[in-house]
Structure 1
Amino acid sequence: MTTQRKEADACELLSGVDPETGMTLGTPIAFLVRNKDYKSGHYADLAQLYRPSHADFTYDARFGRRAVAGGGRSSARETVARVAAGALAEDLLRARLGVEVIAWVERIAELSLNRNSVNESTVDRAQVDQSPVRCPDPEAATAMEAAIRAARKDGDSLGGVVRCVVRNVPPGLGEPVFDKLTAELAHAMMSLPATRGFEVGEGFAATTMRGSTHNDPFRVRDGQVRAATNHSGGIQGGISNGETIRFAVAFKPTATIFKTQQTATRDGREIDFVPSKGRHDPCVLPRAVPMVEAMAALVVLDHSLRRLGARADELSWRSGPALDVLEASEDTPPS
């Protein structure tokens, strides 16, 4: 389903957490993830040309140089640090506020899951991870797997959509103007490699609806004001309204394909190009799921801390277990 590259992705905890108790110490949390299964030689032939739809040309235009081996900062490998940091954020959100962040593959190419097969109120990571493509609809997942295999066989690639829900978010998170919760979620998601679109709530489908259909009526439930529907996706006016935050992220087909394409060299010649070697994903969607979850957790935690500082009397943190996501490595000393 994905690249043949195999990395352990083991986090070596350097500081900030007591390895005996798993409790944070108040100092910056630092960790290291080592790349071991890299093959820089696969990129040797690429130094003097620009791969179509990669960051080769734009990095040269911006910086006058680029990292040829692996793509440097333009490589999706940089997201391993985001996922590790997001795991810490998610652990804290879950322990202190009961917030849950769950994402899954909703569509690959033209193949979409049956939305009636997924209960967004209860779907969990075990259901998502039961298939290699991280789609909780078994029938759709089987079709998606076949499509990815067919694309790989053809030397081609596929894109798709990741859906994410953030449950139990308290009302009042977000800022009214530039730091709207919607804006910061969009910023976070669009900073991920290969992203091409973001929508919250009904998203672009809202353009086909009337206000009388799209509006979320308010009702009082158990003494609390709640929205009867959730077309807004849990955010109104850039601020959370207490309902589940719902959004989707579109990912383009992987840029590296094993087909002949026209490109240009650094010295201005037009050439035909096909990669001679390399280990690349025919579809990034299955591996994008934890990236989306991580960035969502970081944004929601950031706004929770902003609200905590501003209105500590209203937003209380429940006691809960210490951070236990990252464990200090005993066999590899910090460097």
Structure 2
Amino acid sequence: MSNSYGTLFKISTFGESHGPAIGVVIDGCPAGLTLDEAFIQAELDRRKPGQSKITTQRKEDDTFKILSGVFEGKTTGTPLAIVIENQDQRSKDYSHIAETFRPSHADYTYEAKYGIRDYRGGGRSSARETAARVAAGAVAKLLLQRLGVTIQAYVSQVGDIKAPHYTGLDLSKTEDNIVRCPDPAVAEQMIALIDQVRHDRDTIGGLVTCVIQNTPVGLGEPVFDKLHAELGKAMLSINAVKGFEYGSGFEGIRLRGSEHNDEFYTEGGRVRTRTNHSGGIQGGISNGEDIYFNVAFKPVATIMQDQASVDKHGNEATVSGKGRHDPCVVPRAVPIVEAMAALVLADFLLRNNAVRSI
């Protein structure tokens, strides 16, 4: 089972949703980085459950402990181990699916592949694992902050309700409401829709948009490890993600080349583009413009309604939704998207230091 990601800035996550703890080991973090623990905790707080009426009511403080890799507040260059204890497991909520497969979950595929599965919240397949990614992503963000790189994600769509393009939004307002949409009027509509879906004992999907600014030119590899390919891989590894597009994405097919091409010009000695249909990436390599992409999340698979299924013996069964689950995952997915983007950029930043002769 693959539990690691990255080449030079490499993470390995561990733990299960209903086990004693989850955590991450970061290998390759440069020495001398000031580790702002308050910042890491703030990032975890953005992802943790129980934040509002439109998220799961599982209560986890997500308080972390650093076990290694830090001395006197700075990284030492050795493996950085972070652990987050689980506090509010209710394993009994899952006893009814010990031998039954929940529709659109990983239950059947895990059982078929490994011959054994942890049915308590899905074990490793649970989105609880993403807390470890957020912790690692916070460290990556601290590294990127040295270069002035900023990563800002927000909820841009819930169901059919859409926010404007990011260039028309004040992204500093993203954290001003519980749905994490920087457009206050649209946010109110999104919250009302999610609340209605929750009362209907159902779920709904949405879109998270991420904007990366001040990226150095030259990150990414031109053939297989293209920057957008790695961003896509990172995003598609997040639970419930069904789609990824960057720059003009699928809408770009409506344009002709004469409309879609990003013409170059110089500004203050720097090469710029007049438009940014490329999404800040050309030939798989960052060009210094804003990198922006969309991540599509499906409706949460666990719904508080009866659904037809089968058990591990092939017998027909009915699955009844129980436990505490998000009616819409996107508000809590915002920091996860940011974390994975930070991990990709941090890794490429370190890799970039080795591509030119001294």
TM-score higher than 0.5:
yes
CA deviation string 1:194-252 (max 9, x = no partner): 00000000100001111111110000111121111111000011010110101010000
Give the equivalent residue in structure 2 for 1:301. 346
Question: Counterparts of 1:304 and 1:64 in 2: how far apart (Å)?
Answer: 40
> More strand per residue: 1 or 2?
2
Question: Counterparts of 1:43 and 1:260 in 2: how far apart (Å)?
Answer: 15
Give the equivalent residue in structure 2 for 1:23. 74
* 1:10 corresponds to 2:55: no
Give the C-alpha shift of residue 312 in structure 1: 7.9
Secondary structure in 2 matching 1:250: strand
Give the equivalent residue in structure 2 for 1:107. 157
Give the equivalent residue in structure 2 for 1:139. 185
Question: Counterparts of 2:202 and 2:168 in 1: how far apart (Å)?
Answer: 29
Asked whether the equivalents of residues 114 and 140 of structure 1 are also in contact (C-alpha less than 8 Å), the reply is: no
Asked whether the equivalents of residues 235 and 245 of structure 1 are also in contact (C-alpha less than 8 Å), the reply is: yes
Of 7-16 and 109-118, more deviation after overlay is shown by 109-118
Give the equivalent residue in structure 1 for 2:171. 123
Give the equivalent residue in structure 1 for 2:327. 282
Asked whether the equivalents of residues 118 and 136 of structure 1 are also in contact (C-alpha less than 8 Å), the reply is: no
Question: Counterparts of 2:306 and 2:357 in 1: how far apart (Å)?
Answer: 59
Amino acid at match of 2:171: V
Question: Counterparts of 2:312 and 2:153 in 1: how far apart (Å)?
Answer: 40
Give the equivalent residue in structure 2 for 1:195. 241
TM-score under structure 2 length normalisation: 0.83
- How many residues matched? 305
CA deviation string 1:288-334 (max 9, x = no partner): 00000000000011111111222386xxxxxxxxxxxxxxxxxxxxx
Q: Within 5 A, what are the aligned runs for 1:138-177?
A: 138-177=184-223
Structure having greater relative contact order (Cα 8 Å, sep ≥ 6): 1
Give the equivalent residue in structure 2 for 1:208. 254
Secondary structure in 1 matching 2:62: coil
Give the equivalent residue in structure 2 for 1:316. none
Secondary structure in 2 matching 1:310: coil
Secondary structure in 1 matching 2:332: helix
Amino acid at match of 2:273: A
* 1:63 corresponds to 2:108: no
Question: Counterparts of 1:117 and 1:235 in 2: how far apart (Å)?
Answer: 17
Unaligned runs of 5+ in 1: 314-335
Unaligned runs of 5+ in 2: 1-53
* 1:38 corresponds to 2:89: yes
Asked whether the equivalents of residues 117 and 137 of structure 1 are also in contact (C-alpha less than 8 Å), the reply is: no
Asked whether the equivalents of residues 118 and 137 of structure 1 are also in contact (C-alpha less than 8 Å), the reply is: no
Give the C-alpha shift of residue 170 in structure 1: 1.0
Amino acid at match of 2:302: T
Aligned Cα root-mean-square deviation (Å): 1.3
Question: Counterparts of 1:46 and 1:231 in 2: how far apart (Å)?
Answer: 46
Amino acid at match of 1:11: F
Shift in CA distance, 129/208, structure 1 to aligned 2, threshold 3 Å: same
Give the equivalent residue in structure 2 for 1:181. 227
Shift in CA distance, 2/312, structure 1 to aligned 2, threshold 3 Å: farther
Question: Counterparts of 1:300 and 1:220 in 2: how far apart (Å)?
Answer: 25
Amino acid at match of 1:171: V
TM-score under structure 1 length normalisation: 0.89
Give the C-alpha shift of residue 118 in structure 1: 3.8
Amino acid at match of 1:212: S
Question: Counterparts of 1:106 and 1:227 in 2: how far apart (Å)?
Answer: 25
Question: Counterparts of 1:271 and 1:24 in 2: how far apart (Å)?
Answer: 52
Asked whether the equivalents of residues 55 and 325 of structure 2 are also in contact (C-alpha less than 8 Å), the reply is: yes
Shift in CA distance, 117/217, structure 1 to aligned 2, threshold 3 Å: closer
